[in-house]
Structure formats: C-alpha cells, structure tokens
Structure 1
Amino acid sequence: MTDVMLIWDNPLLFEKLFEENGLKCQRVLSTSIGTPFLPACKCVIVPTGFANSAYTKILPGIERNSKAFEKFVSAGGSLVVFGALVTKYDHSWLPMQLTYIEKHGETHLHRVGEHEAQWIVENPGQMVECDGYFSETDGDIILRNDDDQAVMVVKKVGGGMIIATSVHEFPSPGFLGCVMENARRSKI
C-alpha cells in the first residue's frame, strides 16, 4: 500500500526520507497521472524544480492533469508542491491561485497564525534555505520569510489540502506526520 506518490522521472535522494520515516513511497511519471494503473495514496508530492527542464521533464504531464489533482485533493488527499525553480511560475494546474517567484537565500521562517504544516523544519528558529516566494495566492499564508514574503501557503479543497512551499530543506518527520494524519487515501 502506497503512502506517498512522488511525481518525478528519475531517482531522488528525497525518496530515502520517506523510507526513514516508515512511509511507503512510489515514484511515478507525470504521464501516469489520471490513469487507472496508479494505486490510491494519501499524499502526492511534486518536488523542487518541477518546472525547470534542466532538472526534469515532468511539467507537461502535470499541467495536462489539473482535473486529476483537483479530484485527488477534493477526495481527501494531501498535495505538497515545492518550488518551481524558474524565474516566475503560475500554477494554473492547481485548483487555487498561486504565483511563484524564484529568489534563493537563507531566511528565518515567521509563522502566520497556527498550522501543523509550519513544522516543515525541526528547529523553526534556525536559518533555512528558500528558493523563492509566492507573490500571489488565494490560499492561507502560514509562513513568511524575513522580507515578509509568503514561503508556505495552504488551501483546503474539498476534503483535502494543498500545501505549497519554497522552503528548500528536507521536511521534518513532524511535517510528514501532519500531512499523512490529515489525509484520506484517494486516487490520482
């Protein structure tokens, strides 16, 4: 039974993180999204660099399957989207407004309100790497950088949730637990 689906086209060190936290992870090609062959899972992750063709070729498959992502989240799944790693990117395939601007640097994370996903890093007081920020969104901003720019946004859609972040760090076990506990197994 798959817990996490990682949308990517070659092996990633990121996969080991899930294994270390007792989660069964399956890497899938973006061309498989929306087909009947994929098993149900609780979480779909789109890693950092998904829109940059120097890193991967998954973007066309992602952009073609906006309905599958909306259906997955509406049915209770968690969708986690990391930074696009291109100058500017509008997430037109998400059932929300979200515009990413690339801007690399170290920053502190500043909480806005309270949300379990804010524990993306173990020690929230430490400096972390971010690869950009979100200039426009209709989601709830829950983390900002030192320049008061949004670096984590959440949006409830149906029974599930979308978490978008430009935090360029491996997520903490607490963050993974939050994502899994608040999700229902569904098909993408």
Structure 2
Amino acid sequence: MTEAMLIWDTPLLFEKLFKEHDIKCQRIVSDSIGTPFIPPCKCVVIPTGFANKAYTKILPGIERNAKSLEKFVRSGGNLMVFGPMVPEYKYNWLPMELEYKQEQQVTTICMAQDHEAQCLVEDTCSEVEFDGYFSKTDGEVVFRSDEGKPLMVVKELGEGRIIATTIHEFPSGRFLKWINDTAKKSKL
C-alpha cells in the first residue's frame, strides 16, 4: 500500500528519506496523474526544481493535471510543493494564490505563527538554506526569513491541505510522518 507519491521523472535521493522513516513511497511521472493506474495515497510531494527544465520535465504534466491535484487535496490528501528553482514563478496550477522569487540565502527562520507543519525543520533555532521566497500568497505563512520573507505557507482546502516551502533542505522525519498521518487516502 503506497502512502506517498513523489512526482519526478528520474530517481532521487528524496526517495531514500521516505524509506528511512518507513513510509511507503512511489515515484511517478506527472503524465500519469489522474490515470486509473495510480493507487490512492495520502500525500503527494513535488520536489525542489520542478519548474526548471535543467532538472526535470514534469511541469507540463503537473499543469495539465491541476484539477486532479485539487480534487486530491479537497478529498483529504496533503500536497507538499517545494521551490521551482527559476527566477520568478506563479503557481497557476494550484487552487491558491502563490508567487515565488528566487533568492538563494541562508537564514535563521522565524515562526510567523504556531502551526503543526513547523516540524518540517528539526531545529528551528539553527540556520537553514532557502532557494527563494513567496512574494504573494493567500495561504497561512508559517515560516519567514529573518528579513520577513515568507518561506513556508499552508492552505487548508476541503479536507486536505497544500503545504508550500522554499526551504532547501530535506524535511524532518517527524514532518514526513505528520503529512502522512494527517491525511486521508485519496485518488490522485
């Protein structure tokens, strides 16, 4: 039984992280979203660099399948999206307002508000690397840079949620378990 789907077109180190935390993960290409061959899952992860053609070719499939991703979240799934790694980007395929500007830096993150998703980072007192920030959002800002720029947002939608971050580090095991445990199995 698959619990998490990782949308990417080549093997990633990210896959090993799920295995280390006993979460059954399956990597799929974006063109297979919405097909009857994909089993239901609890969370979908779109890694850093999804919009950069130097890293992957998954963006057209994600954009074409925007309605399937929205239905997945509304039905109780958790969708985790990292930074696109391009100079500027508007997440038109997400059912929320979200715009990104690339700016690679290191910061001490600031908690904008208390939220369960803050377990993304194991030690919120240490410095983290980020690849950009959200210049516009209608989601709840969870983390900001020390300059006040939004680095992580959460948007509740139906029975699920969209979690977007520009923090350029692997999520903690506690976070992976949280996005899995707080979601309902949904069809992608």
TM over 0.5: yes
Equivalent residue, structure 1, for 2:49: 49
Query: What aligned pairs does 1:139-150 form with structure 2 within 5 A after superposition?
Result: 139-150=139-150
Measured against aligned partners, the alpha-carbon deviations of 1:68-88 in whole angstroms (never above 9, x if no partner) come to 010000000000000000001
Q: Which amino acid aligns with 2:11?
A: P
Equivalent residue, structure 2, for 1:130: 130
TM score, norm. by length of structure 1: 0.99
Aligned counterparts of 2:123 and 2:66: Cα–Cα separation in 1 = 34
Equivalent residue, structure 2, for 1:183: 183
Q: Which amino acid aligns with 1:149?
A: K
Deviation of 1:176 after TM superposition, in Å, equals 1.0
Measured against aligned partners, the alpha-carbon deviations of 1:118-164 in whole angstroms (never above 9, x if no partner) come to 12111110001100000001111010001100000000000000000
Deviation of 1:113 after TM superposition, in Å, equals 1.4
The list of structure 1 runs, each at least 4 consecutive aligned residues, that deviate by more than 2 angstroms after superposition, is none
- Secondary structure, counterpart of 2:147 in structure 1: coil
Deviation of 1:33 after TM superposition, in Å, equals 0.6
Aligned counterparts of 1:181 and 1:63: Cα–Cα separation in 2 = 27
Q: Which amino acid aligns with 2:129?
A: E
Measured against aligned partners, the alpha-carbon deviations of 1:22-73 in whole angstroms (never above 9, x if no partner) come to 0001000000011111000000000000000000000000011110010000
Deviation of 1:95 after TM superposition, in Å, equals 0.6
Query: What aligned pairs does 1:81-100 form with structure 2 within 5 A after superposition?
Result: 81-100=81-100
- Secondary structure, counterpart of 2:73 in structure 1: helix
Unaligned ranges ≥5, structure 2: none
Equivalent residue, structure 2, for 1:75: 75
Measured against aligned partners, the alpha-carbon deviations of 1:75-127 in whole angstroms (never above 9, x if no partner) come to 00000000000001100000101001111010111101111111211111000
Identity %, equivalent residues: 57
Deviation of 1:182 after TM superposition, in Å, equals 1.1
Measured against aligned partners, the alpha-carbon deviations of 1:162-184 in whole angstroms (never above 9, x if no partner) come to 00000000100111122112100
- Secondary structure, counterpart of 1:69 in structure 2: helix
Aligned counterparts of 1:75 and 1:39: Cα–Cα separation in 2 = 14
Equivalent residue, structure 1, for 2:103: 103
Equivalent residue, structure 2, for 1:171: 171
Equivalent residue, structure 1, for 2:159: 159
